Amino acid sequence: MRLTFALLLALGCKGRVEDTDTVPDGDADTDTDADSDSDSDADTDSDADTDSDADSDADTDTDADTDTDADTDTDTDSDSDTDTDADTDSDADTAADTAAPADTASDTGSPGDTAVPPPAVTAWFGGGSAHWNDYVVSDGATPFDASGAACAGTEPGFYSACLHAGEWLAMPVPGATACAGLTATDDLDAFQWSCVDDGGIRFVSTGLKEGRGLADLLDFAALAWRDNRLVVEDGTGVVASSEPGPWHDNPVQVVTNVSVLNTAGTVYVIPSDTAASPLITADRVALVTGPGARMLGGVSNLTPNQGRRFLWLEGDFDSTNSFVIRLYDTRFSVVRNVRGDGSLRLVGSSANRVQGARFSTTNDPVEVDPNSHHNLFEGLAVFQGHASGLRLNGDDNVLASVVVGNSNVGIYVLGGHSNALLGATSNASGSHSLWLNDADDTTVLAYASINGFRGVTVDDTLGVRLHDAILTDQWLGTGVAGIGASRSANSAVTLSGRFQTGGLDALCVVGVTPTACSAFSDTPGVVESTGVTLATSFVGAVADAANPDDDATGLATYSLANERILWDTAWRGWGRAAPLPDNALRGDCDLTNPSCQVWDWALRETDAVARGLLEVPVNADAVVVPHRWTADQAACASLQGAMWTASGCRSMLLVHAREIGQDGVGNDNLLCEAGERCVHLPNVGGYQGHGGLQSLGPAGPAGDVALYGPVSNGF
């Protein structure tokens, strides 16, 4: 479903930007069959159709059929054709003859007549063909105002310190005088577009749509970029359209089973299953698998070839090793739409972005080492972590919409400070569901857990904030109820918002002593509820049609060969076959516990416990809380969204929301802050709805946050 929103923003020297379609539609349908037949019988007959019988092929058919044999004789003139034959035959035969009504070519048959060429889609930074792997410094008042200077890859802060120039494209709209009423779509339905008024009307892409990727832009058989076309409409018809053609010019090369990816600027592809463990030895490299294809091995940039910048990794990775992606000293790189049977490891790697990814393995599926900072994770699913599901040891990382299921320790933050979790679920953990150990200044919003050992454990940690949590049905052993939240006597935790518990032996424990949760918290004000259960909140045990290894009830016997990539939804993975809740369900299925079941940790649409619990943050519900970073005063000045205060380097974030990234607005640190466009987090947990976004209007204490919410919430 396409949804169109209009939001007028003041953007300094670049004039005005009217956001006509920059919200990711959330439709993860990655069907690339966009009818991009490139058989270019583009009839370029040099006769130029000079007989004055101009059959007025000004058909503005906006079909996504980009077949370039679309009768492109040069009489692509519009209805303003002044052909003296006055042949008004409107026999509109023009899939590619997309000259809009603004096309004023007058095919009068006179020798000097020159047709006005259609507008072209070019790179926003520098013009011409876009280079997919290029980055520029975000040095303007807004991303639209950036100078276009090349990014060195050493810039401080988050991924947004640089802009991925390959996703920033632009096309002018000839004859248009305002953005109002205009919308733009590309034939591949790949990009999100904003209308810019900077003395002329242009549509600008600031990034790919949610669920779309580099794979949608490539022809894996031809080893080429697919033709694309941008069509602008005003509600009554097409007003401008580019010619079909590729928008990027990077070379496309096949990965072999002995590949070293050593040519900067190259897009490396895997068109069919390939047993490879390629080594990346160059910057500005992309690696992507084709539809239905897998790389059977792990990708890395091991010593001595570490220190890579500007990588793009996408697709299905199935490894017999313990990792599928291992990044050493890597910065300003993207891991997008990756489904991995194996783990993601960041070692000394900072300022990277992980989007729409899932990992499953018998080891730690996602591991961020102590020297990896300022990474962003958005839409992350993790299953079957034998040691832990998500292990976070670095500082200042932000994670939004995280689901961890059926692992030993669910989420383990060890030695990492100032990390933020914005919507997280950790279910069926063999041990601690969320363990903060020497993890000062961790912020956790909208957290849910069922069927672990302890819902939250805080050891040797100060400055923790837990805002809105539901912890139910934890287990100390068979038939023995567990603990909701536990902290060591030398730890400090602030509970705020709602704190709901049930099915527990003790709601809160300090040291070894059960205590009231109000005494567990440093400050009063939390709203407590007891007797709650999440037992029927989740979709739960299901059969999965996409996975070939489960039976009609979702059961399978454990094997290393079990399918861990193909699932009907992103929130599914293997766990133990046992009831929910039950002590026997804790942990991953393995050789010791070989009876496996498909578990789905999205919410049911009928759930009334976690689903829809969190208010839209407006008026009295527009609560803002601080998050403290590790930066000193000098470093704080260059950290996106941060300010130096008497309490250190801080950001003020709106609860029940996260920032929309890559929309040309805000600082893209995923925290929802004043003046940004954000997504409402309606649920407690990592699942926050699906199927696109719709406008919810202004939000925040000052009403300066443009808020959107999911179209669908629950299954």
- Which of 435, 490, 494, 485 lies closest to 460, judged by CA? 490
pLDDT at 620 over 60: yes
Of the CA atoms within 13 Å of residue 66, those in its CB half-sphere come to 23
Helix, coil or strand: residue 485: strand
Q: Per residue, what are the HEC states of 336-359?
A: EEEEEEEEEEEECCECCEEEEEEE
pLDDT digits (tens, 9 = 90+) for 91-144: 333 333 333 333 333 333 444 445 678 999 999 998 888 999 999 999 999 999
Q: How far apart are CA 695 and CA 308, in angstroms?
A: 39
What pLDDT does 300 receive?
A: 84
pLDDT at 595 over 50: yes
pLDDT at 684 over 70: yes
Q: Which residues contact 325 (CB under 8 A, 6 or more apart)?
A: 298, 299, 300, 313, 317, 335, 338, 340, 342, 343, 344, 345
- Which of 409, 464, 415 lies closest to 433, judged by CA? 409
What pLDDT does 643 receive?
A: 97
Q: What is the mean pLDDT of residues 634-660?
A: 97
What pLDDT does 68 receive?
A: 36
203 phi, psi to nearest 5 deg: -100, 135
Comparing 10 with 517, the larger pLDDT belongs to: 517
pLDDT at 572 over 60: yes
Q: What is the mean pLDDT of residues 349-362?
A: 95
- Which of 398, 368, 399, 369 lies closest to 381, judged by CA? 399
pLDDT at 162 over 70: yes
What pLDDT does 145 receive?
A: 93
Least confidently predicted of 379-393, 509-523, 671-685: 509-523
Q: What percent of the chain is predicted at pLDDT more than 90?
A: 77
Q: How far apart are CA 615 and CA 624, in angstroms?
A: 13
Q: What is the mean pLDDT of residues 247-255?
A: 97
Cα angle vertex 249, ends 246, 252, to 5°?
Answer: 100
Contact 524, 518 (CB under 8 A): yes
How distant is the alpha carbon of residue 325 from its chain centre? Answer: 18
pLDDT at 53 over 70: no
Least confidently predicted of 362-371, 606-615, 651-660: 362-371
Q: How far apart are CA 18 and CA 6, in angstroms?
A: 6
For residue 322, what pLDDT band results from cuts at 50, 70 and 90? confident
Least confidently predicted of 31-40, 166-175, 328-337, 395-404: 31-40
Q: How far apart are CA 404 and CA 323, in angstroms?
A: 18
What pLDDT does 665 receive?
A: 93
Q: How far apart are CA 254 and CA 268, in angstroms?
A: 6
Contact 404, 390 (CB under 8 A): yes
Q: Per residue, what are the HEC states of 210-270?
A: CCCCHHHHEECCCCEECCECEEEECCCCEEEECCCECCECCCEEECCCCCEECCCCCEEEE
For residue 277, what pLDDT band results from cuts at 50, 70 and 90? confident
What pLDDT does 532 receive?
A: 97
For residue 458, what pLDDT band results from cuts at 50, 70 and 90? very high
Q: What is the mean pLDDT of residues 291-296?
A: 95
pLDDT at 302 over 70: no
Helix, coil or strand: residue 165: helix
For residue 324, what pLDDT band results from cuts at 50, 70 and 90? very high
Per-residue tokens: 498: 């709602």
pLDDT at 676 over 90: yes
For residue 524, what pLDDT band results from cuts at 50, 70 and 90? confident
Contact 707, 17 (CB under 8 A): no
For residue 303, what pLDDT band results from cuts at 50, 70 and 90? low
How many CB atoms are closer than 10 A to CB 542? 17
Q: How far apart are CA 21 and CA 3, in angstroms?
A: 7
Burial readout 665-690 (b: 16 or more C-beta within 10 A, e: otherwise)? bbbbbbbbbbebbbbbbbbbbbbbbb
Q: Which helix (H) or strand (E) holds 464?
A: strand 464-472
pLDDT at 75 over 80: no
pLDDT digits (tens, 9 = 90+) for 185-231: 999 999 999 999 998 999 999 999 999 999 999 999 999 999 999 99
What pLDDT does 114 receive?
A: 58
What pLDDT does 24 receive?
A: 46
